[in-house]
Amino acid sequence: MSTSTVNSLEREVLLSKTQVLVEALPYMRAFSGSTFVVKYGGHAMGEEHLAADFARDVVLLKQIGIHPVVVHGGGPQIEVMLDKLHIKSNFVHGLRVTDAETMSVVEMVLSGRLNKQIVSAINQQGGLAVGLSGKDGKLIQATKLHHTTDLGYVGEPATITPHILDTLRESDMIPVIAPVGVGAAGESYNINADTVAGAIAGALEAQRLLMLTDVEGVLDKDGRLIVEMTETQAKMAISTLTVTGGMIPKIHTCLDAVGRGVEAAVILDGRVPHVILLELFTIHGAGTLIKKDRSPSA
């Protein structure tokens, strides 16, 4: 007779965990072989326990046959380094004016320290991650972002060349991409990480673009989470001022990705532990999913 026993409460907990796995199985089967682009930033990247959860989730996706591509930001970390070096930052409509000196710091932080921290975290959880910037393999060929004010080396993606990502996918490696693009003359450009994630998702025709933010998702006028929106509904939410401020460019990024062939884009609260798994493998999801309008014949 075994000396170990399981009481009724422990049994209920075990059964509950089993039910979670049973619920997740159909989604795992459906998503196997798919490519997911994950935009990683905000508190999810800044807090140690959330960063560890994120790394585990990415490794789990790879283990069950999904191909994650991580694109990370790093605005707060850049600001800290600029302050240490006594380099003043100026912003125009939320965009950092990036002169040559600032660009060197941006590239050092994004392509160097932060990128390798994320790679290391994923590798420590049993994955095989590889750090890249948009300059590697001409992944992100960029042009200067035109604005009413000269923003310096702030760019936007002109062409995404995903061959290097295709190669890594065949090697079972997990790409971790810093949002630094390369210009025609080899110069570096600082690009918004959301924009890069959307552009890469479109180029790969990913099944999902997952955008980790510091908010629950898109909220209606009563403050309730909108679980699902079509393209038309998302545009209407902007035009009727249901959404305002920083959520507007995120929705535009999702709409652009969906318009480029991404099956759906999801805005998630990265402050929630394992939010990626909650979104993908539970019936209720965890954020706001934006998808194409249904065709008249559907």
Q: Give the chain as a 3 state SS string.
A: CCCCCCCHHHHHHHHHHHHHHHHHHHHHHHHCCCEEEEEECCHHHHCHHHHHHHHHHHHHHHHCCCEEEEEECCHHHHHHHHHHCCCCCCEECCEECECHHHHHHHHHHHHHHHHHHHHHHHHHCCCCEEEEECCHHHCEEEEECCCCCCCECEEEEEEECCHHHHHHHHCCCEEEEECEEECCCCCEEECCHHHHHHHHHHHHCCCEEEEEECCCCCECCCCCECCEEEHHHHHHHHHCCCCCCCHHHHHHHHHHHHHCCCCEEEEEECCCCCHHHHHHHCCCCCCEEEECCCCCCC
Amino acid at 45: M
How many domains does the chain fold into? 1
Position 246 in a domain: no
Instruction: Write the CB contacts of 255 (distance below 8 Å, at least 6 apart in sequence).
Output: 231, 234, 235, 265, 290
Strands 129-133 and 174-178, bridge-based pairing: parallel
One digit per residue, pLDDT tens: the chain, 298 residues? 344 555 666 666 556 656 666 777 777 888 889 999 999 987 778 788 889 999 999 999 999 999 999 999 998 899 999 999 999 888 887 788 999 999 999 999 999 999 999 999 999 999 999 999 999 999 999 999 988 888 999 999 999 999 999 999 888 899 999 999 999 999 999 999 999 999 999 999 999 999 998 888 898 888 889 999 999 999 998 888 888 888 888 999 999 999 999 999 999 998 888 999 988 888 777 889 999 887 655 4
Position 149 in a domain: yes
Position 9 in a domain: no
Question: Phi/psi at 174 (nearest 5 deg)?
Answer: -105, 110
CATH of the domain at 56: 3.40.1160.10
In Å, the largest CA–CA distance within the chain is: 79
Position 136 in a domain: yes
How would you class 289 by CB atoms within 10 Å of its CB: exposed for 0-12, middle for 13-18, buried for 19 or more? buried
Position 162 in a domain: yes
Q: What per-residue confidence (pLDDT) applies to 1?
A: 39
Burial of 132-142, coded b for 16+ CB within 10 Å and e otherwise, reads bbbbbbebbbb
In whole angstroms, give the CA distance from residue 12 to residue 81.
49
What is the CA 140 to chain-centroid distance, rounded?
A: 16
State the residue range of the domain holding 162: 34-215
Q: What pTM, to 2 d.p., does this model score?
A: 0.89
Position 127 in a domain: yes
Position 288 in a domain: no
